[in-house]
A and B are shown apart, each in its own frame.
Chain A
Amino acid sequence: RKEVEQDPGPFNVPEGATVAFNCTYSNSASQSFFWYRQDCRKEPKLLMSVYSSGNEDGRFTAQLNRASQYISLLIRDSKLSDSATYLCVVNNFNKFYFGSGTKLNVKP
C-alpha cells in the first residue's frame, strides 16, 4: 500500500469554481502534513502546511482528519493561474512521502 494516495484527476473546472482535493495516508504516526504545488516541468513549491485545527490562506483552505488519516485542500474562486499539479505530502519521522499529485485545469 502506498504511503500517500491521491486522485490523479484531472479536475477540469471553470474560472471562479470551488474545487476540493483529498488525500489519504497510511501511517497513523505521521507527524506533519503539507500541500505542494508543481507546475509542468518545474520543482514542487510549498503551498501550505496543514494543521490539525485546519488552516486558511486566502482562497486556500486545508483540513486534516487524523482519525480518518485524511487531508483535504479546498480552492475557492479558482483562477487560471491555479492550473497545476497539487501534491499531498506526509512527514514520517523526517522522511517525506509525496502523493502522485492531482492535476487541476482551470479553464476560462
Chain B
Amino acid sequence: DTGVSQDPRHKITKRGQNVTFRCDPISEHNRLYWYRQTLGQGPEFLTYFQNEAQLEKSRLLSDRFSAERPKGSFSTLEIQRTEQGDSAMYLCASSLAGTAGGPSNEQFFGPGTRLTVL
C-alpha cells in the first residue's frame, strides 16, 4: 500500500498518560500535516512540516502537544498528560509542495488514529 499510513488506529488511555502517534506519508511527498477531528466537525489544522522543518503550528496545539519529523519522512505526534478533551480522531495528510514552494497541491489522508481518553 503506497498511501498514507498511521499507527496505531485506535488508542485508549487514561487521563494523565502520554501517547505518541506515528504517520508515514506517501514517500515522495515533502509536506506532512496533522489534524484533529471531533464528531460533527471538519478536520482542524494542528501543524505542518515541509521536509523536516515544522513551518506552522496552530494555537490549538498547546504545549502538551509536540510533533516531529526528524528525517523528513515519517512524523510523530505526542500528547503529554492527556485530558478527556483530547479525545478525537487524529488525522495525518501528505502532499507535494507546488512549484517554488508555493501553494500545496491536494492532500492525501491516512486512516487516522482514534484517541479515547478515559
Contacts and interface: CB of A to CB of B under 8 A. Distances in A.
Contact of A42 (B35, B106, B111): B111
Given A31-B103, A91-B103, A98 B48 contact: no
Interface stretch (B37-45, B62-70, B80-88): B37-45
User: What is the predominant secondary structure among interface residues of chain A facing chain B?
Assistant: strand
Given A43-B91, A46-B106, A98 B42 contact: yes
Nearest to B48: A94
Contacts of A101: 41-42
A60 interface: no
Given A44-B43, A87-B42, A94 B31 contact: yes
A96 B107 contact: yes
Given A43-B109, A93-B103, 14 more contacts: A8-B40, A44-B109, A87-B42, A94-B103, A95-B45, A96-B33, A96-B45, A96-B93, A97-B45, A98-B35, A98-B43, A98-B44, A99-B42, A100-B40
A59 interface: no
Interface of B: 31, 33, 35, 40-45, 48, 55-56, 91, 93, 97, 103-104, 106-112
Contact of B112 (A43, A87, A93): A43
A96 B33 CA distance: 9
Interface of A: 4, 8, 31-32, 34, 42-46, 49, 87, 91, 93-101
A46 B108 CA distance: 7
A99 B41 CA distance: 8
Contacts of B97: 94
A60 to B, nearest CB: 15
Nearest to A85: B42
A46 B106 CA distance: 7
Contacts of A34: 106
Nearest to B56: A95
Contacts of A94: 31, 48, 55-56, 97, 103-104
